[in-house]
Structures are given as C-alpha cells and as structure tokens.
Amino acid sequence: QYEGIETGSGTSTYSGTVPLDTTKSGSQYQLVDGKRGGHKTYDLNQGSSGTGSLFTNSTDTWGGGRQTAGVDAHYGAAVTWDFYKNTFGRNGIRNDGKAAYSRVHYGNAYVNAFWSDSCFCMTYGDGQGNKKPLTAIDVAAHEMSHGVTAATAKLVYSGESGGLNEATSDIFGTAVEFYANNKTDVGDYLIGEKIDIFGNGKPLRYMDKPSKDGTSKDSWYSGLGGIDVHYSSGPANHFFYLLSEGSGKKTINGVNYDSPTANGVKVTGIGRDKATKIWYKALTTQFTSNTNYAKARTGTLAAAASLYGNNSAEYKAVAAAWTAINVK
C-alpha cells in the first residue's frame, strides 16, 4: 500500500535534525509515514479548516521555511506512536493500526494546539507573531494522547474528570518527551518549556509543583472540579511526579525540582516507567467517563495491584502519592 517507503531527515524547530519516515510518489517525497499507519502531515497555510496541502519535497531532506513546523509535527507523531507501541503494545490511538493526521500553520499567530476527535487529527498554531509553532514533542504527544483518552476511558472534559483528562495528556506528553531521548528537546517534568508561550521563557506547567504557574493546584480540595481543566490537572500531574521521582528536591537533566506534599507524607518514587505503566493500565481498564480524583486513587491502586501485587512497594507508593496530594 505504501510503496516507496523512505527514510529521510528534517531540520525541526525544537528537536534538531530528526529522522523522518516518508513516502515517495513519482519524483516527489511526501510527509506520509508508511511505517505508522500512513500518518500524513499537512500545511494549513494559515487557514482554519480542511487539510490545506500535504507537505511534499523534491528531496528527502526537509526543513526551512514552512516545512520546519511540519518536521516537528511529523516527528512528534512518530515518536508518540512508537512510545505507545513499544511501551504498551498499543497499535495507534484506537489500537487498530490506523493513523491520525497532523495540520500545522493553523490560523494567524494562533497560540494553541488541539486534538479533534471529529477529524481524528492534531492541529498546531504558529504562536505569537507566527514565530513559535506549538509543535514541541511534549505538546504533540499531549494532543495525540487526547485521542487515546477519547478512545479508552472517555474522561468527560469538565469537572474533576476533565482535570484527569488533561493530566493524562501531560503525563504521556512527558513520558514521550523522555522516551524520544532527543538531545535538543530533553526530557523534563515541565510542559511546553520549548514553545515560550508567555514570551518570558517560562514553561506552561510544572508537574513537581503545579502552583508554580500561579494558578494550578498542588493538591485536591473540594472545589477542584470548578476550575479550568488545565488547572485541575495540577494535583494529578503532581501525583505522577511524586510517584515517579518522590518528594523533595531532585535534579534531572539539569532541571531542579522541589516537590511538596500534603498531610506530612513523604513519597519514595518508583521511577517514571512504572508510574507510566500504572497510569496507562488505570486509564485503559479502570477509568470511565466520570472518574473523579477519589476513583482515580482506587483505579490506580487496582492497576498497581494487578501489575505488581497488592503488597508491593509500587502499590504502597501509589497510596502514598495520592495521600500526598490530599486524596485519601
């Protein structure tokens, strides 16, 4: 079907020079990934509907001008696909081997990116002054992971389930960023640290201490379901950081973290790989559309019990990490 599968490379905005799986059609190369369900990357050319035009090139070396953001998006979709495949055996967003597609250069100076289940596609704006496309690895993986949530737990995008939906995308966005092992866009527990969304070099979100953004919450409280889902995600992001790395101070890949806890609890981390597996198992076997924080606690405990046993250190760490964000 995808005859003419090729391996090219591209110069990206945020990830240096990256490998790209492409397709050759006649004398032209296309951003069509024949190894991952035929994922295509399109240039919307500042439009806001349809698919615009498929990226094509006369050689298999990509980047420069309008192509550069397309390189990030195509690469981000590939590493996210590989992460789900190689970590969980998941074959695409819906586990059916079929690819979504990506659209870059949406609108004019549009400072957002989004997943849409109706087009089954990821869309990226070009950022302030059309200078900072929202195509970094963690953002691409965040958006693609909204597709996975929509295909599995279907967490409703409001109230506490909405916060858990957002946190799921931040958790896997971060896991993919580490998985990519990219020398230029290195793994961290920050969200959107590359896209300079505020124009001051600060990240969009912080998983070790979500309140560092000025609005997100570090711990659960009874009004959490009333705030925007990008802030009610904070406690679950914090849970994931604590479960992975533990409480207190730590430096990873040159970034300093200092993760506080509620209820006087100290948490010993079990490592990101195990924390990621527990979250994925909970998402795909325990969580439902109306899962709230209390049910996320019991769901992840059930996942940890089935993966590691209900007397395991992993199970106890999950319990401690929830208590540490005030979900008891």
Residues labelled as active-site residues:
143, 230
To Ca ion, the closest distance from the beta carbon of 284 in angstroms equals 23
Contact string 151-180 vs Ca ion (x = CB under 5 A): --------------------------x---
**Candidate ranges 44-52, 127-135, 138-146, 292-300; the one touching Ca ion (CB under 5 A):** 138-146
Phi and psi, residue 101, nearest 5°: -135, 165
Cβ closer to ligand ASN: 139 or 270? 139
Q: Give the torsion sign (CA, 134, 137, 139, 142).
A: positive
Q: Could you say which residues in the range 157-186 bind ligand ASN, by CB under 6 A?
A: 166
Residue in 326, 276, 281 with CA at minimum distance from that of residue 302? 281
- Using CB under 5 A as the binding rule, whether residue 138 contacts Ca ion is answered as yes
245 binds, among ligand ASN, Ca ion, Zn ion, none (CB under 5 to 8 A by kind): none
Strands 61-62 and 5-11: parallel
Within 10 angstroms of residue 122's Cβ, the number of other Cβ atoms is 29
Q: Could you say which residues in the range 209-248 bind Zn ion, by CB under 5 A?
A: none
To Ca ion, the closest distance from the beta carbon of 299 in angstroms equals 25
To Ca ion, the closest distance from the beta carbon of 258 in angstroms equals 17
Q: Give the torsion sign (CA, 276, 278, 279, 280).
A: positive
Q: Could you say which residues in the range 99-118 bind ligand ASN, by CB under 6 A?
A: 112-114
Question: What is the rounded CA–CA span in Å between residue 193 and residue 280?
Answer: 24
- Using CB under 5 A as the binding rule, whether residue 323 contacts Zn ion is answered as no
Question: What is the rounded CA–CA span in Å between residue 154 and residue 191?
Answer: 22
Q: Could you say which residues in the range 162-181 bind Zn ion, by CB under 5 A?
A: 169
Q: What is the DSSP string of 3-28?
A: -SEEEEEEE-SSS-EEEEEEEEETTE
112 binds, among Ca ion, ligand ASN, Zn ion, none (CB under 5 to 8 A by kind): ligand ASN
Residue in 111, 170, 110 with CA at minimum distance from that of residue 144? 170
- Using CB under 5 A as the binding rule, whether residue 207 contacts Ca ion is answered as no
Q: Could you say which residues in the range 127-156 bind ligand ASN, by CB under 6 A?
A: 142-143, 146
Cβ closer to Zn ion: 142 or 274? 142
- Burial of 254 (C-beta count, 10 Å sphere; 0-12/13-18/19+): exposed
138 binds, among Ca ion, Zn ion, ligand ASN, none (CB under 5 to 8 A by kind): Ca ion
